[in-house]
Amino acid sequence: MTLFPPLSLGWFNGWIPIVLFYGIFLAVLKIFPKDTVDRLYEDSGWTLEQARPAKIGLPFALAAMVLIIFTPLKINRSIFWTGLATALIGQSEFLYSLHTFNVTPLGEPVTAGLYKISRNPQWVTFAVVMVGFSLMAGSWTVLALLAVRVVMNHFRILGEEQALEDQYGESYRSYKESVPRYFIFF
């Protein structure tokens, strides 16, 4: 791992896992019904205070993505393979949480699958994928940028949870009391 990895254009850079991840993600969204996708990105009931953290964290996430894209992958090092395994586990769990979200009937909170052990498995597994990508690129800077994004996502998640509580009432409140926010944390 290096603080500032050398940036270059190349065939074996971090753009490869990013294109694969987002290509699969967009393909999955194309398969989902429009209602599911709309519900996935629903933020109309949010206040500015709830939406602001996502806007603050976005430049950090974009900077991390640019660094990953232009950083040669460390294919001949063990950190690459650790990162690849981390990203693949994260992506499979991310897709599983999206599937669970998709099959949950509209008008009901999502509480099955990974949602039984985390109220926010999509955000957690997405962060795991990005950590894997930063390990594949071998960059401490990318990890630091992603850490800022994760902190900002925490505040966004607080807003999401408040909106869900407003929408689903007591059923979501009891779900919040029985399932931690981030798997074993909190």
Q: Between residues 78 and 48, which one has the greater pLDDT? A: 78
Domain boundaries defined on the chain: 26-178
pLDDT in tens, 16-51: 999 999 999 999 999 999 988 888 877 776 777 777
> Cβ-count burial of 32 within 10 angstroms (0-12 exposed, 13-18 middle, 19+ buried)?
middle
Interval 92-109: pLDDT, tens:
999 999 999 999 998 888
pLDDT (0 to 100) of residue 45: 67
Question: Tell me: the pLDDT tens digits for 140-186?
Answer: 999 999 999 888 888 888 888 888 888 888 888 999 999 998 876 55
